[in-house]
Amino acid sequence: MAQRIKVWDGAVRFFHWAMVLLVAGLWFSGSEGYIVVHQILAYCLASLLIARIIWGIWGSETARFSQFAASPQAAIKYLGNARPVVGHNPASSYMIFTLMTLLLLQIISGLATFDNSYMSDGPLVALLPASWVDLASAIHKLNIDIILILVTVHIGFALWHSWRHDNVIKTMVTGTAKLNNVPQPVMQASWRFFVMLAVFLLILYYWQGRMLLALL
Ligand code: HEM
Ligand code: HEM
């Protein structure tokens, strides 16, 4: 019997859609040279990602990385036999780990990216040898193209899956889905995620944010 199941908590849904807006803003501000705005958005994304990583260890059952870790064979098999699942399916799990890792790499390389001005250089530029800064700046430029290609594939699969099988895009918006014979996953209260997010935002605000806001 199909019942309505809570698949994604508020924390995961907020994380996803806030990340989409921030990545769009980061791509635009980075490419157009609005580097102060760019860095402010980047620290918001950094706070969001760190809070999500901790939520992946202590959060709701469907948010936990241990729940969506799958073997490569399971992922390939799933692509040939897609069906509704509670949480991430084995194939999407790989895409999600990759996207999160590349976004972290983009943030770390950004910290050492050169912009020709001590005020808008990444904060590690002044501390690192020139060869490291050159490497980080090159990674920062190349990695965004890889992220954008993977995001296009990710959106393509989300649309395909929603059209052919269950509407996973709607589930990422509403948090619920009608599924057959599956137990309700254990959910944690999302306020814990938002408290962590606020703490990381505050730390990064004191480290860089207030200096950047003063430059606006
Ligand atoms: C910058 C663009 C995007 C990035 C970086 C991104 C990244 C991610 C990440 C990291 C997750 C895992 C969420 C979590 O477990 O907390 C996810 C899930 C998901 N995303 Fe995106 N996403 C992007 C855009 C989109 C868009 C535009 C759509 C819809 C058209 C979409 C549809 C989905 C869906 C349906 C899931 C759940 C997948 C599943 O059921 O396994 N994403 N995305
Ligand atoms: C704390 C984190 C970050 C810092 C400090 C940072 C810093 C910078 C700086 C200084 C530049 C200018 C480089 C130049 O003048 O050529 C830049 C460019 C750029 N950044 Fe970031 N960034 C960060 C995170 C991100 C993130 C998370 C994204 C995307 C998801 C991103 C996307 C870009 C893009 C697309 C450019 C333009 C690259 C080009 O010139 O082709 N950055 N960033």
pLDDT of residue 120: 85
Quote the Cα angle for 118-120-125, to 5°. Answer: 55
Residue 98 CA to residue 100 CA, distance in Å, equals 6
Cβ contacts of 64 within 8 Å, gap of 6 or more: 56, 57
Query: Which residue lies with its CA nearest to atom 15 of ligand 2?
Result: 115
CA-atom Rg of the chain in angstroms: 19
- Which ligand is located closest to the Cα atom of residue 123? 2
Say if ligand 2 is within 6 A of residue 88 CB.
no
Question: 43 and 209 in contact (C-beta within 8 Å)?
Answer: yes
For residue 188, give the nearest of 10, 67, 19 by alpha carbon.
Answer: 10
- Which ligand is located closest to the Cα atom of residue 34? 2
Question: 55 and 12 in contact (C-beta within 8 Å)?
Answer: yes
CB atoms near residue 32 (< 10 Å) = 10
Q: Which of 49-63, 106-120, 150-164, 200-214 has the lowest mean pLDDT?
A: 106-120
Under the banding of pLDDT at 50, 70 and 90, the label for residue 197 is very high
The chain-wide mean pLDDT, for the chain, equals: 95
Q: How far is the CA of 111 from the centre of ligand 2 (A)?
A: 9
Q: How far is the CA of 16 from the centre of ligand 1 (A)?
A: 6
CA quadruple 115, 118, 123, 125: dihedral positive or negative? positive
Domain residue spans of the chain: 2-215
Under the banding of pLDDT at 50, 70 and 90, the label for residue 116 is confident
Among 28, 32, 36, 38, say which to mutate for ligand 2: greatest number of ligand atoms within 8 Å of CB: 38
Among 103, 113, 142, say which to mutate for ligand 2: greatest number of ligand atoms within 8 Å of CB: 113
Atom of ligand 1 nearest to the CA of 93: 41
The whole-number average pLDDT for the span 10-16 is 98
Task: Select 2-215's CATH number: 1.10.357.10, 3.40.50.620, 1.20.950.20, 1.10.10.10.
Answer: 1.20.950.20
